[in-house]
Amino acid sequence: MTVDLSDAQIAQFHEDGFLILNRLIAPEDAARVAARFEGLFRGRFETGLYPDEWNWQEGRDSPDRTRQICNGWKSDHTVAGLVLRAEIGRLCATLAGWPGARIAQDNVIWKPPGAKPLGFHQDNSYNAWIVPAEMLTCWIALDPTSAAGGTIEYVRGSHRWGRYPPIAQFHAPEDYRKELAAAAAEVGRTPEIVPVEVPAGGCAFHHGWTWHGSDRNRADRPRRSAVAHCMSSDARFHTTEVSYIYSRYKRVGDDSMDESFFPVLWTREGYRTAWLDDYMCRGSAAGRSLNYLAAGD
């Protein structure tokens, strides 16, 4: 898969702070990634490694919570086969104006019918540990999405509203638009909320300062997504700002990012972390799925 972004689409991204595409991957490939979710949330990790964050576990957490795993790529080759693709890195770097892109973090998100919202926030509020402190994200729908089904929602133009701190409660807040409403009041704007309604395999890119969140799933089908949060290929660790999870990968006295933990997906110069393509092909769900996902078709 290659996606040619037109100048108009790139301009639209800069204007709106997001860009929605109806097709990034084939629906059957989206279904192959979605088929991994059940095992992952039950703790079946084919690589033997825990993901960096495992926010919902079968039997431990309430069924009305939206389920999230961060850095599922470390635990599952099929997830890796999607979120570590060169093309995703190329598109994120192109939109961000970076020389290339590394994965900062992936998200595996499963919102069953009835599951509660995720609060509106700005991703870059959580990125002080990175220099430059910015991400650009590719959010991929693995099911057809709808406003009623709790899809991701963006606020048009909100990447220009300024920088706000992390929100009080990300998972299942009482009012998922609370901090957004406060920010909008401060800048004197009425938020124009755009729900991302795409077929399975569609996607949306968003700027790190764009306000986004998602409502309860009021539909009768699950909403599953895979998200690649990218950072610049040149990114380094901040020497004093600490992420309690991700700064664990920083070596003492060294601010460089190790490609074992933050692999480079793509650079303009033609560089890509050497082990990625082999790693993406190793899954137990291999065969057809990984032929497709790893080949960069």
- Is 263 in contact with 84 (CB distance < 8 Å)? yes
| 84 phi/psi in degrees, rounded to 5 | -100, 15
Alpha-carbon gap, residue 263 to 188, rounded angstroms: 41
For residues 226 and 280, which CB has a smaller minimum distance to ligand AKG in the complex? 226
Residue from the set 92, 118, 219, 235 that interacts with ligand AKG by CB under 6 A: 118
- Asked if 123 is part of the footprint of ligand AKG (rule: CB under 6 A), the reply reads yes
Separation of alpha carbons 292 and 29, rounded Å: 8
Cα separation, 91 vs 203, whole angstroms: 12
Shortest Å, Cβ 139 to ligand AKG: 5
Which residue has the CB atom at the shortest distance from ligand AKG? Answer: 214
Nearer to ligand AKG, 77 or 116 (CB): 116
Give the C-alpha separation, 58 to 67, whole Å.
10
Residues 65 and 191: their CA atoms lie apart, in Å, by 26
Kindly determine how many residues on this chain lie close enough to bind ligand AKG according to the rule CB under 6 A. 11
Kind plus residue range of the DSSP H or E element containing 178: helix 178-187
Nearer to ligand AKG, 65 or 282 (CB): 65
| CB 207, min distance to ligand AKG, A | 11
Mask 76-115, x = binds ligand AKG (CB under 6 A)? Answer: -------------------------------x-x------
Which of 33, 88, 152, 180: binder of ligand AKG (CB under 6 A)? 152
For ligand AKG, the binding residues in 217-236 under the rule CB under 6 A are 225, 227
CB of 217 to ligand AKG, least distance (A): 10
Candidates 78, 137, 232, 267: give the one binding ligand AKG (CB under 6 A): 137
Q: Which residues bind ligand AKG (CB under 6 A)?
A: 107, 109, 118, 123, 137, 139, 152, 212, 214, 225, 227
